[in-house]
Amino acid sequence: MAVPGLISTRRFSGPTRLRLQLAFARALEALADTYQLQAAEFVRRLRSRLSVDEALERYFREVGVPAAIEETVRSRALISLTGLIENPPRRERQGASWGMLRPDHMLDALRRRVEHVEATNLDCRLAASMSDEAVATTHVRSALEAAEVLADEVTPDEAIMLYVRTFNLPSVDGQVIFRKAMAQWAEQHPLPGEAQAMIKGDAVPEPTSRPRLDPRTRPEFGLRVMV
C-alpha cells in the first residue's frame, strides 16, 4: 500500500479536493493506529513463544504494513509494550545439548521442537488474520468517509474505487473492501421504496401465522326466500 497522492484528486473542485485530502490524511492516521494496536496484540499473543523483538519482526513479515508508516507503527508498538519489555516473561530453560542426548531422547526432542514450531506458526497466522480483519474494517470506514465527501461529485462506487486505487490496495483486498463498503453504504442510504417498506415493517409486524376465525364471528351468507 502506498501513501495517498494528489494526482487522483486534481479533477475535483478546490474545496472538495482539500476535504478529500483531509479524509485521506485521517485514513492514513487511522491505519497507523490500527496497525500499532494489532502489532502490540500480536506480540502479547505470542509472548510465551517469542520474544518482543522476534514477535515484532514476525508481525511485519506476516502482515503487509505499508513501508511509509512501518517505523511509526514499530515505535508506537514498542511504547505500548513498555511493561512487557521491562518485565519479560520467563523463558523455558534449554534442555541438554544434542550431543549429550541418547538417540531416543533426541527423537523426542526433535518431535517436540517440530510441534512447537507448528503451534507457533498457527498462532502467528491466527493473530495475523485478526490484524487483517481490523485493518479491513478501518479501510471500509475510511472509504465510506471519502464517499461522503464526494457524494455531490461522483457516485458511491466511483468514490470507493478511488479510495482503493489511491491507497494502492492489493486486488483481493481491494475487492473485499469495495464490496463491504458498498454494502454498508446501501444499508446507510436505502432507496425511498426500501425506506418506506422498512418503516411499515417496523410499524406493523407481519403475523407469523394466520389467526383462526371464530365461527361465531363469521358473517353468514345465504339465500333469502322471497314469499
Comparing 9-18, 19-28, 29-38, 83-92, the range with the smallest average pLDDT is 83-92
Average pLDDT, the chain: 80
Question: pLDDT for 19-59, tens place per residue?
Answer: 999 999 999 999 999 999 999 999 999 988 899 999 999 99
Question: pLDDT for 165-188, tens place per residue?
Answer: 999 999 999 999 999 999 999 999
Report if residue 19 sits inside a domain. yes
Question: pLDDT for 137-146, tens place per residue?
Answer: 999 999 999 9
Report if residue 154 sits inside a domain. yes
Report if residue 2 sits inside a domain. no
CB atoms within 10 A of CB 144: 21
Please say if the pLDDT value at position 217 is more than 60: no
Contacts of 39 (CB under 8 A, 6+ apart): 56, 59, 60, 63, 65, 73, 74, 77, 131
Comparing 19-28, 70-79, 201-210, the range with the smallest average pLDDT is 201-210
Report if residue 105 sits inside a domain. no
DSSP string covering the chain: -PPP-SGGGTTS-HHHHHHHHHHHHHHHHHHHHHHHHHHHHHHHHTTTTS-HHHHHHHHHHHS---GGGHHHHHHHHHHHTHHHHHSPPPPPPP---GGGS-HHHHHHHHHHHHHHHHHHHHHHHHHHHHHHHHHHHHHHHHHHHHHHHTTTTS-HHHHHHHHHHHTT--HHHHHHHHHHHHHHHHHHS--HHHHHHHHHHHHSPPPSSPPPPPGGGSPP--PPPP-
Contacts of 7 (CB under 8 A, 6+ apart): none
How many domains does the structure of the chain reveal?
Answer: 1
Question: pLDDT for 53-68, tens place per residue?
Answer: 999 999 999 998 988 8
Report if residue 38 sits inside a domain. yes
Report if residue 149 sits inside a domain. yes
The parent domain of residue 173 ranges over 12-89+112-187
Please say if the pLDDT value at position 211 is more than 70: no
pTM over 0.85: no
Report if residue 77 sits inside a domain. yes
Torsion of CA 163, 166, 167, 172, to 10 degrees: 70
Report if residue 20 sits inside a domain. yes
